[in-house]
Chains A and B, each alone.
Chain A
């Protein structure tokens, strides 16, 4: 039988990993993978003419909230938000769904693939609820997905650190990732959530505040987990949501957290929320501290960031950061959900409306943009809105326009609170992103930071996840509706319409662990958890369509 090649002919290819910056090149696909061009006499079974179109690898969202208990709670908590939006109607090929700031599972998959994103990672799942996340992934069509496992307030980990049990810590991280079938360790307000659980309105004030009872500090948690995760060669060692999110003056905590990595590879997420100057919760002193932090990132190649861009409009804040949810509820007086996940983590959910006439909100918006523009190396800054916390992933095309078009950026800046220009440097930044750089911050970069060797590029062996855009002067228009989106070599989207529904793969790691530590974990587990140890790990048979990423 002859091989069924699929050829995409004549497009302008933006594939930064393979050094293509808009060169016209034919792409060849075989069995869902990119392959070398075959011999000249081989005829493809199918050819898609992409002449005049822009071709990029499928987008990779490395930080969003799309599955698991907190996402589902946010859906249930905001019927009014869903009622306002158009429903996603059932078609012969697709399921129905609802939108709002937290779309339903099916709608999430359709909207991501419709934007040309083919991979997305949920950023915070308590391992105890891993099954829930996997079940929702089964209903999230079209895209590949995975999740990060909350570890920053895990009691066992804090015990290991307090007792200086490095080997056991390493083993536990390996065991926990494998048990949850997660992808990477996630630290959310390390130590702070535990303090919140113990004290009314409690939180840590900085990275060196003690976490009582455990007698560890956030700094120790960051340093030890980062070191251990790097030693077990995880594809994405550690994903850190720093302490003191959203607080004026929190930039020092952020810089201290970067220092606490001690030179190991670490990713600081939604850094926009962690780059504020000012102090004592005084709004009048609130200003941007992107410059010193971006300079730190520029000088320290072990640190990478994603932005967590704020976009104006109504959304839902959801986080494993319990005290943050409480803080937001106090500020905005909206409804609020808080949860305590046993020995693992917390959770806070509250609606939020970002207003362009609010100094704080407008400054948050500007600070996000400063991050894109002040980190010199686009490989180390990743596009995110922390969906839905800063805004929806549906806003990515608008962010692209803001980055590629400084006139548009200035026009929008002129519509926000006038004081913003005095408190940040956005007005002075003339940098404009090129299409090649956009390809880096939306696909090649995040794929590299996640250690996904088959994503984010179009070289031989890569997954044939491809987005084809019709060039347009208005980059928002261009990126809002790709002409074609191809996933694993199949055209799933054509002109914004879903042509075929597939279900993508769940990406996870299973780094292994020292079996001798299992008895110790089990003993601790049986003593404190609400479920039995043997019922805790997610079995292989639970994942229907999964791909283990080697460690």
Chain B
């Protein structure tokens, strides 16, 4: 039995539901869950003011439904369990999550999985800017875990990312892997410009047909068939991420950079 939270409010003023995660409320009765504190703009309110709560929390499975575009921080800091979001949702989904899975059958706003420490997020629609990023001022962004976006995503994906895997099925904006410390970012579609600026280590792989002109602080190294690529693609396929555009016979161009920051990062493009 799952716990269902159906949004009944309107989305003009943001509703923030930080901390209402499957692991945190598994022992709560419905009446208690209804009284959980949420923010409506700058005012404190109760979950039941905006959501119809039904089902059972004990199984650590949660479904959020309705027009959730104005609902933010769903699954933030979650530490286990499952969340399914049916419909579009707001910003900071799965921010700082440690474990568990979040599946979104719709689009989400910015800061998806920002500074996440573990777990899996799979968005079947589009995502906004700063997927897996560091919050402003932070030393590092996403630190472990996996974020999969089947659709498009915005700018600064993996900003200051430290570990983990981000895969975007569609097109993206600019500055992917900005300031990246380590980790892996895979882009299947067409990206914007100026990727990997300031990256120290880590891998950004552009597996689509069109790839961007790289920054002058990146140098071409070689054309090759990296041994890790079949491992990576098999792993993505096992997570139900679409890699059907790849035959497995591709060669790739390897570029090192950013040489303004040591040059130990790599950008891989389809040859």
Contacts and interface: CB of A to CB of B under 8 A. Distances in A.
Interface stretch (A75-83, A305-313, A441-449): A75-83
Contacts of B137: 77-81, 83
B139 interface: yes
Interface string A65-82: 000000000000111110
A334 B137 CA distance: 11
Interface in A75-94: 77-81, 83
Contacts of B138: 79-80
Nearest to B140: A80
A78 B138 CA distance: 8
Contacts of A78: 137
Contacts of B39: none
Q: How large, as a class, is the contact surface on chain A?
A: under 10
Interface string B135-162: 1111100000000000000000000000
Contacts, number: 15
Q: How large, as a class, is the contact surface on chain B?
A: under 10
Nearest to B200: A333
Nearest to A335: B137
Contact of B135 (A77, A80, A334): A80
B132 to A, nearest CB: 16
Interface string B110-148: 000000000000000000000000011111000000000
A392 B139 CA distance: 21
Interface in A12-59: none
A80 B138 CA distance: 5
Contacts of A83: 135, 137
A81 B138 CA distance: 8
Interface string B202-230: 00000000000000000000000000000
A377 B47 CA distance: 62
Contacts of A79: 135-138
B19 to A, nearest CB: 14
Interface in A449-492: none
A8 to B, nearest CB: 40
A84 to B, nearest CB: 10
Interface in B63-111: none
A87 B167 CA distance: 35
B94 to A, nearest CB: 17
B130 to A, nearest CB: 15
B143 to A, nearest CB: 13
A330 to B, nearest CB: 14
A79 B135 CA distance: 9
Contacts of A80: 135-139
A85 to B, nearest CB: 13
Instruction: Find the residue from A79, A80, A81, A83 having the highest chain B CB count within 10 A.
Output: A80
B92 to A, nearest CB: 13
Contacts of B136: 79-80
Contacts of A77: 137
A41 to B, nearest CB: 55
Contacts of A334: 139
Contacts of B135: 79-80, 83
B197 to A, nearest CB: 16
A11 to B, nearest CB: 42
A335 to B, nearest CB: 8
Contacts of A81: 137
A15 B139 CA distance: 46
Contacts of B139: 80, 334
B133 to A, nearest CB: 13
A251 to B, nearest CB: 33
Nearest to B136: A79
A78 B137 CA distance: 6
Instruction: Find the residue from A77, A81, A83, A334 having the highest chain B CB count within 10 A.
Output: A83
B182 to A, nearest CB: 15
A55 B137 CA distance: 43
A357 to B, nearest CB: 19
Nearest to A77: B137
A81 B135 CA distance: 11
B116 to A, nearest CB: 15
Nearest to B139: A80
A498 to B, nearest CB: 22
B150 to A, nearest CB: 31
Nearest to A76: B137
Nearest to B115: A80
Nearest to A82: B137
A435 B74 CA distance: 52
A79 B138 CA distance: 8
Instruction: Find the residue from B135, B136, B137, B138 having the highest chain A CB count within 10 A.
Output: B137
Instruction: Find the residue from B135, B136, B138 having the highest chain A CB count within 10 A.
Output: B138
A380 B271 CA distance: 72
Interface in A142-180: none
A77 B137 CA distance: 7
A334 B139 CA distance: 8
A143 B138 CA distance: 32
A126 B154 CA distance: 43
A158 B246 CA distance: 70
A530 B14 CA distance: 45
Interface of B: 135-139
**7 closest A-B pairs (Cβ-Cβ)?**
A79-B137, A80-B137, A80-B138, A79-B136, A78-B137, A80-B135, A83-B135
15 contacts: A77-B137, A78-B137, A79-B135, A79-B136, A79-B137, A79-B138, A80-B135, A80-B136, A80-B137, A80-B138, A80-B139, A81-B137, A83-B135, A83-B137, A334-B139
Given A79-B135, A79-B138, 11 more contacts: A78-B137, A79-B136, A79-B137, A80-B135, A80-B136, A80-B137, A80-B138, A80-B139, A81-B137, A83-B137, A334-B139
